Amino acid sequence: MKKRLWAIALIALVCVFAFSACKKAPAQADNETTDSQTTDENGSYNETDDTDETDTTDKDGDSTENGVNNEQSGNSGGHTHAYSAWTTLKKATCTEDGLEERTCSCGAKESRTLKAGHTEAIDSAVAATCSSEGKTEGKHCLTCGKILIAQKTTPKTAHSYSSYKFTASTHTLSCTMCNTGTTAAHTFKSGTTTCTACPFFKETAPGFATGYTTTKVTYIETQYAIFQIQPNIYVVGDLAKKTDDLCRAMESFSGLSFNTEIANGKKILISVNRSSGPSAYPDSEMSGGIATGGAVSNSRGDIGNGHISLDSLSLFLGKEGAFIHELFHVLRFRQSNNTFNTVLEEGFAAYMTLGLQLELEKQNKALAYYCNSSSQGYMNIGSMERSIYNCTISEWFSKTADGFQGNDAYTYGYCFLSYLKSACGNPTAWITYLDDAGKDRPDMNAPLSVDQTKQVFQEVYGANCLDNFYGWLRNNEKNLLKPGGTVYDITDMEPISIYPHFTWLNCESTELAPFKVKYKNLCVDVEELRNYLTNYKNRNADNLNLALSHNATIQLFDRNGMLVGQEQGKTASLAGVSYFRLVGQGELDFLEIYGYFNPSEVYTKKTLVYRSEPAARTFWRSFIQDWNIDEFDQDLLYRTDIQVVVEITSPSKVILYSVTGEETVLWNQTKVVVSGCRDFYVETEGNTVFEVYIVPKK
């Protein structure tokens, strides 16, 4: 009986344990915390918590997850919360936190804190000047205005003084920022007019020759020539001296004389005429001339031997070599009136002109400057047609002026005389044989025949003198036709006047030279330029300005030689200045004087149109041409009372150049204001229309 009872008790105990195991399994499945066992290195078992939830209890006893308060309402079972947008319960301020919450459709809620804080704003630093204190950078709150970082005061700066301004008795030094100036009397060194405190001094003003405009037919007689000058032509003040100096230099260089017996003691008659360009440019003048031999007379009754008809721009105004060229023709005629050969007539004048220019640049630089430079002479010669090498020397001699293109007659003749100089020693010995050559011709005014021409050279230089010409030419052509020197040396040149060239276009600025110039203490007459512009071209020249390619010390003088200003830089105002000097030495890429315009011009709006060709890429302001409207006057860029605008029908690259040459590139432009520029370019492709118009500044 006892054994049976024990058996029943054992079975009951087993059932109790089994029931307990069955009750525990579902609780584990409901995500209650479970322990996992691991075996350590000693074989012992360790229990770890596999649950990754991070529920904590906040100070109010609510459950929070990652800083968000969670309030449960009811048993969600397997429900996933879908919260609404956050709703602000309390806005945060600069000093107190705020609060916002969101809810789920099941009633669950979450809330989070909005942190307090200032909204920073920058208080910009203010630079100190010589007239006011500055401030450092600071910060304040944009919401409540609290100063977060206080600004500190910085002291005034020292004055920044400009260069001195002078009068005859005082000098003034002004601050460039506040314009405060200090004026003091000059203190001169004993026995001098040089101030000990500033750069002021007074010198004896250079002797500049002043020109004038003719109002009637004017006659000027020199040792070599008689000028007959028509009305409304500008005559340089020392025309007679320059002419005689040039003629003497020509005789010395060539070994020939203007005063041979054939002249019968008569002077050269020179007629000067105003030869204008297109009617669209009333100020334009042409350069050039033509020379003839034999006896001629002028309207006053003077009889001369040899005549030059010269255009007004070639009369010692610089950068034009026509006067020398035509004088050499007359010099040749003074040796013989025989008509010779087109190539050699022009070749003689071209060869001798360039040679004289090179010589003058060594011996008389100022005269060389007024007559033209050798650099320009080389460029005017140009290059030859390659077909010349396929000609015989006879065919070459048979060409007349009509048989050449452009300057080819000058080029071929120049090359041939260069050959005579190199191979035979004297390039002009043939001239003295002209009277005997062809003396039996029925028409003494007709050119010599080819055989007569060849005979002259064979008699002078030998029977085989022409045999090696083409071989020599092939070996020397590049040297003969090279452009002139890259630098025009005018160091130690006496003070000079410079003139604008209104050739075909309205002249917007006056340049020293169209190429690089080497100078030393260069002195330039502004008064003569102002006289030319005002009295001859009817331009307002009261506010001229100087622009250089590089920084220089620029001394400015009045007509009495008193220093009225000194600038260090690339620009200077020439208002009230009689002449200026570039102190020291250097090389200039350009020197220009600008700022003159026609006071009778009134602009409301004018449009200039240029249509580029399909193949054209680059458009330059000087090519804006519409003869029915007007030509663009570049001086308009410098005007202060108007605005110059360029409009382009397709986005294009525009390059602007300042008065001192600095370049600014603008891309994809359709409208650009170009006022204040020295020059501008528009680069594009295709059929593009460019419009340039001028409107008054408001």
Cβ–Cβ < 8 Å for 148, 139: yes
Q: Is 28 exposed, middle or buried (0-12, 13-18, 19+ CB in 10 A)?
A: exposed
Long-range contacts of residues 258-263, Cβ cutoff 8 Å, at least 24 apart = 258/224, 258/330, 258/331, 258/334, 259/334, 260/334, 260/335, 262/305, 262/334, 262/335, 262/336, 262/337, 263/305, 263/306, 263/334
Among the listed ranges 44-53, 110-119, 470-479, 524-533, which one has the minimum average pLDDT value? Answer: 44-53
pLDDT of 533 reads 94
Residue 45's pLDDT band (boundaries 50, 70, 90)? very low
Residue 285 has pLDDT above 80, yes or no: yes
Residue 48 has pLDDT above 60, yes or no: no
Q: In terms of DSSP bridges, do strands 607-611 and 689-696 run parallel, antiparallel, or are they unpaired?
A: antiparallel
Residue 253 has pLDDT above 90, yes or no: yes
Q: Alpha-carbon distance 213 to 573, whole Å? A: 27
**Which is higher by pLDDT, 56 or 210?**
210
Q: In terms of DSSP bridges, do strands 591-594 and 509-511 run parallel, antiparallel, or are they unpaired?
A: antiparallel
For the residues 81-96, what does the mean pLDDT come to? 90
DSSP 380-400: HH----GGGGGS-HHHHHH--
- Give me the sign of the Cα torsion angle 145, 147, 148, 151: positive
Dihedral angle over CA of 238, 242, 243, 245, nearest 10: 140
Token duo for residue 144 = 């409540």
Cβ–Cβ < 8 Å for 246, 371: yes
Residue 401 has pLDDT above 70, yes or no: no
Token duo for residue 108 = 């669950």
pLDDT of 68 reads 58
Highest mean pLDDT among 163-177, 279-293, 509-523: 509-523
For the residues 275-293, what does the mean pLDDT come to? 80
DSSP at 202? B
Residue 228 has pLDDT above 70, yes or no: yes
Token duo for residue 508 = 């917007």
Residue ranges of E strands in 462-578: 487-489, 496-497, 509-511, 516-525, 545-557, 563-573
Q: Alpha-carbon distance 64 to 53, whole Å? A: 11
Distance of CA 270 to the CA centre of its chain: 40
Residue 638 has pLDDT above 80, yes or no: no
pLDDT of 55 reads 43
- pLDDT tens figures, 548-574: 988 999 999 999 899 988 888 899 999
Residue 265 has pLDDT above 50, yes or no: yes
Q: What is the average pLDDT value for the chain, to the nearest integer? A: 79
Token duo for residue 271 = 């007629």
Residue 625 has pLDDT above 70, yes or no: no
Dihedral angle over CA of 310, 312, 315, 317, nearest 10: -150
Which helix (H) or strand (E) element contains residue 153?
strand 153-154
Residue 647 has pLDDT above 90, yes or no: no
Q: Which domains does the chain have, with CATH numbers?
A: 120-154 (no CATH), 163-201 (no CATH), 204-335 (no CATH), 338-484 (1.10.390), 487-594 (2.60.120), 607-696 (2.60.120)
Among the listed ranges 362-371, 425-434, 608-617, which one has the minimum average pLDDT value? Answer: 608-617
- pLDDT tens figures, 338-348: 667 777 888 89
At residue 506, the 3 state secondary structure works out as coil
pLDDT of 608 reads 46
Long-range contacts of residues 458-463, Cβ cutoff 8 Å, at least 24 apart = 459/433, 460/429, 460/430, 460/433, 461/420, 461/423, 461/424, 461/429, 461/430, 462/424
Token duo for residue 407 = 């300057």
- pLDDT tens figures, 420-475: 999 888 888 888 777 677 666 666 667 777 888 888 888 889 989 888 888 898 88
Q: Alpha-carbon distance 405 to 415, whole Å? A: 16
Cβ–Cβ < 8 Å for 410, 347: yes
Q: Alpha-carbon distance 333 to 229, whole Å? A: 23
Highest mean pLDDT among 18-27, 60-69, 416-425, 656-665: 416-425
